[in-house]
Chains A and B, each alone.
Chain A
Amino acid sequence: MNNGALVRLVDVHKVYRTGEMEVPAVRGVSLEIKRSEFVALMGASGSGKSTLMNILGCLDRPSSGSYFLDDADVSGLDRDQLADIRNRKIGFVFQNFNLLPRTSARENAELPLVYSAHHLSHAQLRERANRVLVSVGLAGREDHHPSQLSGGQQQRVAIARALINEPEILLADEPTGNLDSRTSIEIMAIFQQLNERGITIIMVTHEQDIAAYAQRNVIMRDGLILDDHAVSERATAAAQLQQGIPSTV
């Protein structure tokens, strides 16, 4: 059964009911993603990619079909069990950052640990948050509130929050959608660096040039996978930054 796939979707359907109408959003998707892959999930709006993302992120359950995460079937788990999976195995990065306002970068990064990691002392918590903030390049900004940070910095805080529980998968939903191109490349540099360290990344994007930073592109249309191919000419963010792509800021 174990063929090295971290994520395995088998004939996953998702149907939304609006009154009498049944609206299918995902209509039978089977997909395998191996450990340490960097996948970009693409498609036009309404293609079902967001719904698939929610299922992958254990925020939603498939109407039918199975979802194996790390060889465990998570498609039948209840709300609390899904919350625990999200806490331990998945890190989220959103388009609009979704940081808690009026809360320091450190406390934002600590947030997942509040709901687990009961064995850690307050000092250990801080220390872990500081370390992960430094790793995404936010040394010295630990006490800043989101309103005092730029978009790129806010997204870094969100990445730190996603990483603090050392998850299996980093799920990013349009992570560069609110960022300028230079900052987008910076965020992609962090993603590629994390991916090299072995973290599996699934990223929803509709931008072709952002998808080029991934190893593999999965393209959806009308709730089905239209195309699934490896990226032939992969972009390397770190190299681009060194060449000095002009900032649009």
Chain B
Amino acid sequence: MRIAPTFHVAYRALRRNKMRSVLTALGIIIGVGAVIAMVGIGNGAKAQVEAQIASLGENVILIFSGSTTSSGIRTGWGGAGTLKIEDAEAIRREVPDVIGVSEEVVSTTQVAAGNQNWFTRIYGESADYFDIRQWPLADGAPFTAQDVRSANKVCVVGRTTATQIYGNENPIGQILRIKNVPFTITGVLTPKGLSPQGVDQDDIVIMPYTSAMKRVIGGTTLRNINVQIADQSQIAAAQQQIISLLRQRHNIRPGRDDDFTVRTQQEIAETATATSRVMTVLLGAIAGVSLLVGGIGIMNIMLVSVTERTREIGVRMAVGARGNDILTQFLIEAVTLSSVGGIIGIICGIGASSVLSSYAHWPTLISIGSIAIAFLFSAAVGVFFGFYPARKAAALDPIEALRYE
């Protein structure tokens, strides 16, 4: 059988019932468009989460104090003050492959300069922090290890904090009063944007942890310790070494729970991306249902078409068309309908997701892979739902088909 004229016949048959073809294809257009847009949104969210996790830094191990059951009360990470500055120093000293350690304390407080004030988060860190988080400064310089040792009254500020206090003025060299202690601003951080939880990461003041503990927050324990390992392959070993080192330092007998929690960045990333993966699958499945409905529409119209063209089928059989020729003809018609719908649907889906990302500010990500899958899927829908009507046409008896009125 000749393929080119068969396509021509399919094209003409579809064009003859323009409105009907358009409406049938619309089912596929909406289905494919929804799949593309929904998966785009899901993947966009996932990519954003992954980017946020990556911004924690590379090969990072986080040690939180607490999160264990002490006397039956679970305190949550960072709750019970079990991590000491000495623990961080021991990690720095004794665990191999550690390339950076940052002792971290966190608080929120009011900061002020001139007649402006602002409620923000205060992070106490070591000088390694900016390398660990891969968070360079946009302007100025970070505080130094010397500043940390001497608990100097210096800090760097995030973009949001800087704008809220100083407006368009350059904050570097300015004095920022934190709990009435004057700190000199040495630098402004590059903006990071919102965290996956919607927290403005640029609404922050970072100072040496020694200064924070001595002058702002008080206390003697750390909320957590950020540790950076040289190479990804050493993370698991380093995690074990940190656990045994801290158990030993905290005098925890075998069989008792840790009074700290160790999480690698990878573990955090997995939890976070698992959530968004579930979302992507869910959105895709819902959109897939509409594609299914579109397929049923194609089957319906193809059945109508076979009935309408019974006489034509009879003529074709009389002049020598085999059952397979008829089957192919109607399959091509169904697949043409569904794949043209698929292509238009892909375009609409891309359009819809770009509208969503520009107006609703939802991050969307459309990959070549998802476009290819959507197209193949729409073609497959045509084959699947076109097969039954096409087989029905092919099985017609030529005599009865010729006689059909």
Contacts and interface: CB of A to CB of B under 8 A. Distances in A.
Interface of A: 54, 57, 59-60, 79-80, 83-84, 86-88, 92, 94, 98-100, 102-103, 111-112, 114-116, 118, 122, 161, 165
Given A54-B399, A59-B399, A94-B402, A115 B315 contact: no
Contacts of B200: none
B131 interface: no
Contacts of A103: 12
Contacts of B402: 59, 94, 98
15 contacts: A59-B318, A79-B323, A83-B320, A83-B323, A86-B317, A86-B320, A98-B402, A100-B315, A103-B12, A111-B315, A111-B316, A114-B1, A115-B320, A115-B322, A122-B4
Contacts of B318: 57, 59, 86, 92, 98
Given A114-B2, A114-B5, A83 B399 contact: no
Interface in B267-311: 311
B319 A115 contact: yes
A115 B314 CA distance: 14
Query: In this complex, which of A60, A84, A115, A116 has the most chain B Cβ atoms within 10 angstroms of its Cβ?
Result: A115
A84 B312 contact: no
Interface string B311-333: 11011111111111100000000
Given A80-B322, A115-B320, A161-B319, 15 more contacts: A59-B318, A80-B323, A86-B319, A86-B320, A87-B320, A98-B314, A102-B16, A111-B316, A112-B319, A114-B321, A115-B316, A115-B319, A115-B321, A115-B325, A122-B4
Nearest to B13: A102
B196 interface: no
A88 B320 contact: yes
A103 B314 CA distance: 16
A84 B322 contact: yes
A103 B5 CA distance: 12
B322 A79 contact: yes
B363 interface: no
B136 interface: no
A34 B110 CA distance: 113
A243 B6 CA distance: 47
B128 to A, nearest CB: 75
8 tightest A-B CB contacts, nearest first: A87-B320, A112-B319, A115-B320, A83-B322, A80-B322, A98-B315, A86-B320, A115-B321
Nearest to B8: A107
B309 to A, nearest CB: 9
Contact of B317 (A83, A94, A100, A102): A83
B330 to A, nearest CB: 15
A131 to B, nearest CB: 18
Contacts of B320: 83-84, 86-88, 112, 115-116, 165
B390 to A, nearest CB: 16
A202 B353 CA distance: 66
Query: In this complex, which of A59, A102, A118 has the most chain B Cβ atoms within 10 angstroms of its Cβ?
Result: A59
Contacts of B12: 102-103
B398 interface: yes
B57 to A, nearest CB: 65
Interface in B124-175: none
A92 B322 contact: no
Contacts of A83: 317, 320-323
Contacts of A99: 315
A165 B4 CA distance: 20
Nearest to B317: A83
